[in-house]
Each structure stands twice: as C-alpha cells, then as structure tokens.
Structure 1
Amino acid sequence: MTNSSTVAPSKWKRLGYQFGMAVAMAIVSLIGHTAMVSRAAGTLDFAPAIAAIPGMIIIVAMVMVALILKMLIPLPMPAIAYCVLLAFLFTIPNFIPGSAFITDALNKVNFMALCTPVTACVGLSAAKDLPQLKKAGLPLLVVTAMTIVGSFLGSAIIADIVLHLTGAL
C-alpha cells in the first residue's frame, strides 16, 4: 500500500512538467508560424515563404529538442546553447546523413523574418517586469543606452577596420 501524499506530488510535478513543455512547444510552433506569415507578408510573395517551410520546420524541431535536452540534462546551460550545438552538429557536411539537405533548407529561411515574433516576445517579457523596471528608473536607462551605443560603435569600428583591410573601402 502506497502513501497517496507521497505519490501525488510526483504525479502532479510530472504533469506540470508535461503541461509546461506542451505550452512551450505550442509557443515555439506559434512563433514559427508567425515568422512564416511575416515572411510572406513582408514580400507579398508566397513562393519564398513556401520554399522556406522545410527550414522553418527544422528550426522549430531543433528548438523543441533543445528545450527537451535542457529539461533532461542537469547542466546549468541555457536552452540556446543546446540549439546552437544541435544546429552546429546537424549542419557539419557529411557528419550525419541529410546534413546537405538541412543546410540547404536553412539557407532558404529569411532570418530577418524571425525578428518580428522574437521582438514581440521580448517586449511581452519586458512588459511583465514593468514595475521592477520603473523602480530601477534612470540608472537602468543610462546603462542600457550606453550599452546599445557602445555595441553599435564597436561593431561599426570593427566593420570599418575589416573593410579597409580587405580593400572593400
């Protein structure tokens, strides 16, 4: 005879993980669909968007597998690291069967079309922390502005140096 108080929490915990994973998969799938729609709407041409469907399915599948790996592997590593690792392994030429197909399919995806749904998710994430952002106030705004300006100027300086070294300018 088992004690129901000890069995129930693990059952509910497992159910919670499954529900959380289902919600995460639904969100990833929705972002993939939104990226495809924004790709088609941005060009008013459905042919490139239709050609990019296999690549977007591969991206969504890699993200889902990365989320599962993050849950199963007890390392303090973010899910994006698993995504990068999977993408790296699956696109090495002749490393796995079909790597050429995966690379070709991913090359057809317009990654700028992914900016719209990702930026929307970042905005929603920041909006939920709005009271904390208001408490941080001006110092956070100054640090953020300096970070953005420094990042932009650093990138521009590096690009200028590389373009001069290669003779493009």
Structure 2
Amino acid sequence: MLLKNINEWILLFIIIGVISLVGNFVGYNIMSLNAIAGISVLIIISLISLVLNKVVPVNFPTIGYVSIIAVLISTPWTPGSDLILSWTNEVELLALATPVLAYAGISIGRSWTDFLKIGWKSIVVASVVMIGTFIGSAIIAEIILNIQGII
C-alpha cells in the first residue's frame, strides 16, 4: 500500500514541479538548471516527509517533517548546504503556490456533496470574507501609497 502511495505522490509532485517551473519561467523569467535542481530538492524533501509520516509510529504532521528536514539540510554545518540553498533560491514562492492552490481547489471541487452539506451560509461567509479582505487591502494600499507620495 505504501508503494502505491509513493508512486502516486511522485507523479503528483512531478506534475506540480513542472507547472512550478513553467510559472517560474513565465512569471519571473527564471529557467535554469539550478531551478530544476531546486524543484527536485523540494520534491525529495516532500517525499521523504510523506514516507516518514506513514512509517514513524508517532502522530506528527507531515509539515513538521518537511520543516525539520529543510532546516537540517540548509544549516551551514551540513555538507552541500550552500549548493542546496543556491538551487532552491532559484525557485520563487509564488511559482510553487500556484499549482498547489490549484490542486487544492480541484480536490475541494471534487466533493460538491460535502460542499452542499455545508449549505448556503458558507457561501455568504466566504463572500463577506473575500470582500472584506479586498476592501481592507485596498484601504491599506491607499494609505501606504499616500504616505509614500505615489498617489
């Protein structure tokens, strides 16, 4: 069962990695071997973390394993940390966030029955939150731009 999960994870991470590389190139004009290596490092860290989450008999979140592994391999006393940091510095955060958020949206969208159980109230709450966030951001931007004398 774990091997089937690992194969699915690898396929998913490769798809997300390719989309992230395209986003990295289109959005930030960064397409280098270092970016490919950086995505590969991030994929390997994620895979190791998922395997540890399934294998280690402790109730510990996967993101905890990701954080611990990332900190350990990026500390100055780890051999090759400079190389790993130079690779991952070529990958922009928003280029990674776009496919991950798209995948989350698709997985949430697949369960329309669960969404329907929540009801119309969740739509109202989500709309108010989005409108409030937009208006709040616009007000903050207006204040900052006025302070800087840009507008």
* Structure 2 partner of 1:61: 44
**Cα gap change, 1:66/1:153 in structure 2, threshold over 3 Å: closer, same or farther?**
farther
The 2-side partners of 1:59 and 1:126 are apart by 24
The 2-side partners of 1:146 and 1:86 are apart by 39
The 2-side partners of 1:140 and 1:77 are apart by 30
Residue 145 of structure 1: how far off its partner (Å): 4.7
* Structure 2 partner of 1:101: 83
Larger Rg, first or second structure (1 or 2): 1
Q: 1:124-165, CA deviations, whole angstroms, 9 ceiling, x for partnerless residues?
A: 110122111112123323444566647x959x98xx9xx9xx
Letter in 1 for 2:75: I
The 2-side partners of 1:116 and 1:18 are apart by 28
**Cα gap change, 1:85/1:146 in structure 2, threshold over 3 Å: closer, same or farther?**
farther
Residue 88 of structure 1: how far off its partner (Å): 1.2
Residue 75 of structure 1: how far off its partner (Å): 1.9
Is 1:18 aligned to residue 3 of structure 2? yes
Letter in 2 for 1:120: A
The 2-side partners of 1:24 and 1:58 are apart by 15
Letter in 2 for 1:36: L
**Cα gap change, 1:142/1:17 in structure 2, threshold over 3 Å: closer, same or farther?**
same
Residue from 42, 45, 52 that aligns with 2:35 = 52
* Structure 1 partner of 2:56: 73
What secondary structure does 1:89 align onto? Answer: helix
Which one has more relative contact order, counting CA pairs under 8 Å at least 6 apart? 2
- Report the TM-score when normalising by structure 2: 0.77
CA RMSD in angstroms, aligned pairs only:
2.8
Residue from 65, 68, 79 that aligns with 1:85 = 68
Identity of aligned residues (%): 25
Residue 89 of structure 1: how far off its partner (Å): 1.2
The 1-side partners of 2:12 and 2:74 are apart by 25
Q: Which runs of 5+ in 1 are unaligned?
A: 1-15
Residue 63 of structure 1: how far off its partner (Å): 0.6
Is 1:111 aligned to residue 96 of structure 2? no
**Cα gap change, 1:77/1:143 in structure 2, threshold over 3 Å: closer, same or farther?**
farther
Off by >6 Å, runs of 4+ in structure 1: none
